[in-house]
């Protein structure tokens, strides 16, 4: 059993003792508020699940201190006293868990979603949101300083244990700090001392209104990772000054809108990517320093603390994926932790689209307030799951959790379905983590897994299932395009390529979605020359922007030609004729065409099940080809309904 001696040691932060050194990062989840943007039972239950799951500290993310600064429409508001009672209910629900509740205080500045943006200077955000913000007057700056202090006072009155000032990630305070976004020529701009003035006044106002004993932490950037932005050298100058002002801790992160791929790192980014920044800050202060940056392994978290590089570890998406991660880690049950994949699809892609946040691997996110704990079914049934891809594995696991007798069969010799193929693409090996988790869970829960097994009448007769869940997935569809079936080029699908089929040296890929771009990366890694033809207007729009960024960068570095939107005229013997942007073009000298467009459901086994006497459910891509998030969600919902 892995023993984590350091992560689960208590720590004193100002006048507050946290039971362990694992903090749930403040994240803008974009749900759980009412029409006044006051917190509701939905957000309370979401946070309480992580608090009862064993985190030492949990934070409400992105709480707006002023109407001009709400980053997203679904975030809490702290600008009037009506927010206190709902927050008190949240604090009362979390306090018995033993976790400490923090509220993050934020003003989005130019990175707010609405059209009333304000900022130090009238300079638009570098990415994600549009619009030129209004430049703040001196009177308005004073109003915002007071708004931070009043918001902190309300959090204290509601029973929060601490607050965290968000001075990172390109939001308003960070905009004052960074030369790139602060062009003021008054006491709040220009020199380093002037650019930090707003933050210092905010800290002072909060301390004046909450007292010396109420812990006030800060989230700061170690690097903005943009030209003329805030740097580590700046952070090292700022950190001791914040300690003198009474900061309880410093949480060191990185990136802004414009380097968002680093602010919220995807699976392409190494684990522990910002620890070096926190480590540097720790050397210049004596207050606790919090490290963050794609730390999903409890062993890695414990190691960073053991080595003295940081005092506290902040985890965000890993605790979205599995609220019980701390409990499981402390008990040494690391294989039972449901892993974050770093795909950023449910938690980031949805939120940036102004939709409620979620999680690809955890369908319960945002639904905690509707759910009781999983209890055994009143009647245990015999369940047959056909297909050991992610949907089938998820359904088998949840059915077993419900107490049913589950048999899982798959014609192939390995479980995982399309995820096993996706994990072969460079930089995307973590896609298999969820499959490894499901396989371990199947073994732990007693699921009878039969690989290399075809569904047939004899199997049905032997098992006599009460219900059959068909999760046989999907395969690439062959489009009806002129010349595609008569070309002399080798014709194959993206799944065949990822499964090891050898292609020629020069390859055309038809399809610019995620599958097509991943195939291009896979093939170029093997020395192939690749051109991608996309009949849609955007490449891989189904991916999160920060995940897609790295995939596009890899293809750009390998000089893969990406063409869109194309209209195919005809495939020829060794190439293709098409038009793009009103211009016709012919490509020749190619050996292989790889089709990577639409998928089609595989339901070959369905006729065999008709009349078998069992209730039949069709889930995942076998129902309708979609994505991993919907496949797992549908699988668990189906299994719970048995």
Could you give the residue numbers annotated as active site? 171
Give the closest residue to 289 by CA, choosing from 231, 330, 225, 235.
235
CB 337 within 8 A of CB 297: no
Q: Which uninterrupted H or E stretch holds 457?
A: helix 457-463
What span, in angstroms and rounded, lies between the C-alpha atoms of 309 and 425? 33
Angle between helices 41-52 and 84-94 (to 10 degrees): 30
Q: What is the DSSP letter of 347?
A: I
CB 419 within 8 A of CB 413: no
Give Cβ neighbours of residue 54 (< 8 Å, ≥ 6 apart): 20, 22, 99, 324, 325, 326, 327, 329, 330
Give the closest residue to 97 by CA, choosing from 143, 49, 161.
49
CB 371 within 8 A of CB 364: yes
Phi, psi of 486 (to 5 degrees): -115, -5
What span, in angstroms and rounded, lies between the C-alpha atoms of 119 and 183? 10
Q: Whole-angstrom distance between the N-terminal and C-terminal Cα of the chain?
A: 35
What span, in angstroms and rounded, lies between the C-alpha atoms of 553 and 551? 5
> What DSSP line would sit under 133-195, residue for residue?
PEEPPHHHHHHHHHHHHHHHHHHHHHT-SEEEEEE-TTSHHHHHH-TTT----STTSSSHHHH
Give the closest residue to 422 by CA, choosing from 635, 627, 632.
627
CB 352 within 8 A of CB 128: yes
Structure tokens at 199: 């933050």
- Taking CA atoms, 618 is separated from 380, 448, 470, 477, in Å, by 21, 20, 5, 19
CB 92 within 8 A of CB 48: no
CB hemisphere CA count around 501 (13 angstroms): 16
Structure tokens at 136: 């703040």
Give the closest residue to 151 by CA, choosing from 30, 37, 249.
37
Cα 274 from chain centre: 17
Tokens 């008190």 belong to 88
What span, in angstroms and rounded, lies between the C-alpha atoms of 166 and 106? 5
- Report cis status (omega within 30 of 0) of the bond before 565: yes
Backbone φ/ψ region at 61: left (φ over 0), alpha (ψ -120 to 50), beta: beta
> What DSSP line would sit under 371-430, residue for residue?
-PPP---SS--EEEEE--SHHHHHHHHHHHHTT-EEEEE-SSSSS-THHHHHTTSTT-GG
Beta strands 11-13; 16-18: pairing state? antiparallel
Structure tokens at 552: 């596009």
Beta strands 576-580; 583-587: pairing state? antiparallel
Structure tokens at 607: 């006729």
């Amino acid at each position: 059993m892995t023993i984590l001696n350091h992560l689960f040691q208590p720590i004193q932060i100002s006048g507050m003792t946290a039971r362990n050194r694992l903090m749930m990062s403040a994240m803008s989840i974009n749900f759980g508020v009412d029409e006044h943007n006051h917190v509701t039972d939905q957000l309370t239950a979401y946070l309480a699940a992580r608090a009862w799951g064993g985190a030492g500290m949990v934070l409400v993310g992105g709480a707006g201190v002023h109407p001009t600064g709400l980053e997203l429409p679904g975030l809490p508001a702290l600008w009037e006293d009506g927010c206190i009672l709902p927050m008190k209910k949240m604090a009362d629900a979390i306090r018995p868990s033993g976790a400490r509740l923090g509220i993050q205080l934020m003003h989005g500045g130019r990175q707010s979603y609405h059209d009333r943006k304000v900022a130090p200077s009238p300079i638009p955000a570098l990415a994600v949101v549009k619009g030129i913000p209004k430049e703040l007057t001196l009177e308005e700056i004073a109003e915002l300083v007071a708004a931070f202090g009043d918001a902190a006072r309300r959090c204290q009155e509601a029973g929060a244990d601490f607050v965290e000032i968000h001075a990172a990630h390109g939001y308003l305070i960070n905009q004052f700090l960074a030369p790139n976004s602060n062009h003021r020529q008054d006491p709040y701009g220009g020199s380093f001392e002037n650019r930090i003035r707003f933050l210092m006044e905010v800290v002072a106002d909060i301390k004046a209104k909450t007292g010396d004993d109420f812990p006030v932490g800060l989230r700061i950037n170690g690097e903005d990772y943009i030209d003329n932005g805030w740097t580590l050298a700046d952070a090292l100058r700022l950190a001791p000054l914040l300690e003198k002002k009474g900061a309880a801790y410093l949480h060191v992160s990185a990136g802004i809108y414009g380097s968002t791929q680093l602010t919220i790192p995807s699976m392409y980014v190494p684990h522990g990517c910002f620890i070096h920044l926190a480590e540097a800050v720790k050397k210049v202060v004596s207050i606790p320093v919090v490290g963050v940056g794609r730390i999903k392994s409890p062993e890695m978290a414990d190691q960073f603390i053991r080595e003295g590089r940081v005092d506290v570890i902040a985890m965000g998406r890993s605790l979205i994926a599995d609220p019980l991660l701390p409990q499981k880690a402390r008990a040494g049950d690391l294989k039972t932790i449901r892993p974050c994949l770093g795909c950023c699809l449910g938690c980031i892609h949805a939120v940036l689209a102004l939709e409620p946040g979620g999680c690809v691997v955890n369908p319960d996110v945002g639904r905690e307030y509707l759910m009781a704990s999983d209890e055994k079914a009143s009647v245990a049934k015999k369940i047959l799951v056909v297909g050991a891809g992610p949907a089938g594995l998820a359904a088998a696991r949840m059915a077993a959790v419900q107490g049913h007798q589950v048999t899982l069969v798959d014609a192939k010799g390995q479980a995982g379905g399309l995820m096993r193929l996706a994990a072969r693409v460079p930089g995307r090996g973590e896609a298999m983590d969820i499959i490894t988790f499901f396989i371990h869970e199947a073994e732990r829960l007693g699921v009878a897994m039969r690989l290399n097994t075809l569904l047939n009448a004899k199997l049905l007769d032997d098992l006599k299932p009460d219900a059959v869940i068909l999760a046989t997935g999907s395969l690439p569809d062959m489009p009806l395009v002129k010349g595609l079936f008569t070309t002399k080029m080798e014709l194959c699908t993206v799944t065949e390529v990822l499964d090891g089929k050898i292609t020629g040296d020069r390859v055309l890929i038809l399809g610019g979605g995620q599958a097509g771009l991943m195939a291009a990366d896979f093939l170029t890694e093997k020395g192939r020359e690749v051109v991608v033809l996309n009949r849609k207007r955007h490449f891989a729009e189904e991916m999160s922007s920060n995940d897609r960024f790295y995939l596009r960068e890899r293809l750009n570095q390998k000089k893969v030609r990406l063409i869109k939107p194309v209209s195919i005229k005809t495939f020829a013997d060794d190439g293709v004729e098409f038009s793009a942007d009103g211009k016709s073009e012919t490509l020749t000298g190619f050996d292989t065409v790889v089709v990577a467009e639409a998928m089609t459901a595989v339901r070959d086994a369905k006729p065999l099940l008709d009349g078998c006497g069992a209730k039949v459910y069709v889930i995942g891509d076998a129902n309708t080809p979609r994505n991993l998030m919907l496949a797992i969600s549908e699988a668990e919902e189906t299994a719970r309904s048995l």
